[in-house]
Chain A
Amino acid sequence: MRQISLRLNGVARTVEIEDQVLLVELVRSLGLTGTKVSCDTEVCGACTVLLDGRPVSACTTLALEADGRSVLTIEGLAKANQLHPLQQAFIDNFAFQCGFCTPGMILAAKALLDERPSPTAEEVRRWMEGNICRCTGYQSIVDAVLDAAGRRP
């Protein structure tokens, strides 16, 4: 067993894990089931979380990589009852149907907007090309990200 300390959605946590435990297994075991697993091979983005602000595939990242770092999952975005602008924009633009891809989409988009607050539609498409949606279609997702970029505080 190995002890790791991380900031998980802003809260300091110390947990004991075995080395082979994946980051997605850790966060889901802590009740944060917003992070999904679909392809399990780094292709679809359903498992996207931010590790020190960078998007990673939690399905293929060891949990021990989070030691001394901060992890943001979809549960960490809203403040009290106030949705994050990206979450609100996804609702307003009908950017999800089943919602399975949505946590990963929103976190990937957050990483983009943190680095480039006013991206073009083309930049959004390129950045999000590794996040796959099987039901909504991508136009409304791109619209939502651009909309959120416009509303940011």
Chain B
Amino acid sequence: MLRRFEVHRATSVEEAVDLRVRYGDDAAVYAGGTELLLAMKLGIARWAHLIDVKPIRELSRVAVARDTVRIGATVTHWDLERHPDVTRVLPALARLEASVANVRVRAAGTLAGNIAFAEPHADPPALLVALGARVVARGRRGERTLPLEEFVTGMYQTALGGDEILTAVEVPVPAPDARAAYVKFQVLERPSVGVAIVAKVNGASFAGPPAVVVGAVDELPRRVDTAALAGASLADARVADALAASARAAVSPVADLAGSEEYKRHLVGVFARRALTALAAG
């Protein structure tokens, strides 16, 4: 049972922005509702107005240009795990999407909603940060694009303005010699830890430092210092040790139902190694 509210079905971004301006703090943007309706049912949040962005046609598309994959804000996890261009150009993201939540949450939940909610126990942000993704927001004063890393500012906190809506997530097309992998550990509904690695590989060595990002354990996705790994061999056991140590040092885990601070830090080291193994395997 939900308390009474009104849903406004916006059919253009301009209309959604106008509704945000008109209703201010009494309204929330509503996409798949997998987080929003749950929070409202549990009584954690209450809004008199929901601004439904799903009817906005331009937000439902995935567009692949030469150097960018542009994922519209209402594209769901389900869409992404199946999308032919995403599975071809960003196979690691497609695989990650297939492992989010359960099939029903994937069918309704959007990638933009996942990002906008900024719940730390999430999968996509770690890989998207490692891939250098940006988010596109539109408000009264027009459109702006900012790195995902700057958009998420804390637990459940983002840089989204009170008049803005997210319109897209942009992911740079990886270089032909780049590889990406994401591994996670999960016992409950959401990940306890996730580690993403994106690297250019030359033969069996890193060409430059790999981008490694740890998600879900800390308040924010955390980048791991990998400067020392530039040029190192993927198969060198010392590389795995160094990466694990660096990953553990990069995070301040938040103790919760998924584990204590110490346990999570341990997991981060283990999963940093596994991410490296997954990258080396393909």
Binding site for B on A (CB under 8 A): 18-22, 25, 40-43, 45, 48, 51, 54-57, 60-62, 64, 108, 111, 127, 129-131
Contact = CB atoms under 8 A, between A and B. Distances in A.
B38 A60 contact: yes
Given A19-B6, A62-B7, A54 B107 contact: yes
What are the nearest 4 A-B pairs in CB distance? A130-B102, A20-B2, A54-B107, A19-B7
A42 B105 contact: yes
B107 A62 contact: no
Contacts of A21: 2
Interface of B: 1-7, 33-34, 37-38, 41-42, 50, 78, 101-105, 107-108, 189
Given A57-B105, A108-B103, A42 B34 contact: yes
Give chain A's interface secondary structure class: mixed
B108 A61 contact: yes
A55 B109 CA distance: 12
A22 B103 contact: no
Nearest to B40: A20
Contact of B104 (A20, A22, A55, A62): A55
A60 B37 contact: yes
A38 B147 CA distance: 40
B7 A64 contact: yes
Contacts of A20: 2-5
B104 A42 contact: yes
Contact of A41 (B6, B38, B50, B107): B38
Given A20-B3, A21-B2, A129-B102, 5 more contacts: A19-B7, A19-B50, A41-B42, A61-B37, A130-B101
A56 B104 contact: yes
